[in-house]
Amino acid sequence: MLPKKFIPLFCAAIALVFFASCSTSTPTSTAPSSAPQDETVAAAEPLTVALAILAPTEGNQVSGSVKFRQIEDKVTIAVNLKGLQPDSVHAWHIHEFGDASSLDGKAMGGHYNPEGKPHGLPNNPERHAGDLGNLKADSRGEVIREINVNNITINGPKNPILGRGMIIHAETDDGGQPTGNAGSRIAQGVIGLPKA
């Protein structure tokens, strides 16, 4: 045990060591770095291209691709399909989930409709964000078509579609409620990033 006369000196020495160590410690916050940001931050940057590769659902033969290209507030959607019946007409929609795990396409959920609007055809501005209308196959059962829409973005603030589902239906979209009487799902794909 320390004699009473050394206790104040001992306490002063401990305090001196404590305060000295505090003044030489490194700061806990740092100034912003000019180094490149990590992938998480970079992913938030606006994307200009997305792609869905379509595969047939069980018992069907339809396959192809749907490419999305965004320029400012407009998205150009280019579709290329094969395996349809010649001269047939089919609905196509963006669906709420990018889940291609079910053989019938039903894991994709319903039409993508973040604004809660009624179903409609592309000439109606009050429609689901995922309502794209109809595609007509040629005499070989193929479709090559391009449309422009302004009610979606690839990963922007307005109805982003990245990671959503793309469905080709067996029937024509007649514009009726709640989903256009478009029938079963004959092809499905997930909207993702194309290889650069």
| Domain-embedded: residue 188 | yes
Q: Which helix (H) or strand (E) holds 19?
A: helix 7-23
| Domain-embedded: residue 41 | no
The verdict on whether 90 is a catalytic residue reads no
| Domain-embedded: residue 68 | yes
| Domain-embedded: residue 38 | no
The sign of the torsion formed by the CA atoms of 187, 67, 122, 100 equals positive
Nearest in space to 173 (alpha carbons), one of 110, 91, 112: 91
Amino acid type, 105: G
pLDDT in tens, 72-94: 999 999 999 999 999 999 999 99
| Domain-embedded: residue 14 | no
Q: Which of 90, 127, 164, 169 is catalytic?
A: 169
The whole-angstrom separation of Cα 2 and Cα 9 is 11
Q: What percent of the chain has pLDDT over 70?
A: 78
How many structural domains is the chain composed of?
Answer: 1
The verdict on whether 95 is a catalytic residue reads yes
Structure tokens at 188: 């499905």
| Domain-embedded: residue 54 | yes
Structure tokens at 23: 């003044």
pLDDT in tens, 106-148: 999 999 999 999 999 988 888 999 999 999 999 999 999 999 9
What value, to the nearest 5°, has the Cα angle with vertex 48 and ends 64 and 52?
A: 20
Residue 57: which domain range? 46-192
The verdict on whether 185 is a catalytic residue reads yes
The verdict on whether 104 is a catalytic residue reads no
CATH number of domain containing 76: 2.60.40.200
Predicted confidence (pLDDT) at residue 42 exceeds the cutoff of 50:
no
Q: Which of 90, 127, 164, 185 is catalytic?
A: 185
pTM score of the predicted model: 0.75
When mean pLDDT is compared across 100-104, 153-157, 188-192, the lowest value belongs to 153-157
Structure tokens at 81: 């399909």
Q: Which of 90, 111, 127, 164 is catalytic?
A: 111
| Domain-embedded: residue 103 | yes
The whole-angstrom separation of Cα 156 and Cα 22 is 46
| Domain-embedded: residue 19 | no
CA count, 13 A, side-chain hemisphere, 65: 9
Pairing of strands 74-82, 89-95: unpaired
pLDDT given for residue 176 in this prediction: 86
